[in-house]
C-alpha cells in the first residue's frame, strides 16, 4: 500500500479531532506526525540533491 503526503495530512487532521474526543488516539496522531516530518525531510533532501546536481552540471 502506497502512502503519500496528502493522505497523511488528511488523516492527521481527522485523527487530531479524534484525540480531542478521546486521548486514546494520541499514539496514532503522533505516528502520523512523525511520518509527515519524515516525508518532508526526505523531500528537502531530494531538493538539495537536485540543486547540487544542477550546479555540478553547470560547472562540468
Average confidence (pLDDT) over 20-29: 98
Average confidence (pLDDT) over 3-30: 95
pTM above 0.75, yes or no: no
Which has more pLDDT, 3 or 40?
Answer: 40
pLDDT at 3: 73
Sign (positive/negative) of CA torsion 39, 33, 18, 1? positive
pLDDT over 90 percentage in the chain = 57
pLDDT at 1: 54
* C-alpha to C-alpha distance for 1 and 8, rounded to whole angstroms: 13
The pLDDT mean for the chain works out to 90
Amino acid at each position: 500500500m502506497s502512502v503519500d503526503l496528502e493522505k497523511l495530512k488528511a488523516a492527521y487532521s481527522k485523527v487530531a479531532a479524534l484525540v480531542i474526543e478521546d486521548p486514546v488516539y494520541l499514539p496514532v496522531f503522533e505516528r502520523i506526525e512523525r511520518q509527515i516530518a519524515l516525508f518532508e525531510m526526505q523531500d528537502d533532501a531530494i531538493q538539495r540533491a537536485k540543486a547540487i546536481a544542477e550546479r555540478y552540471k553547470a560547472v562540468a
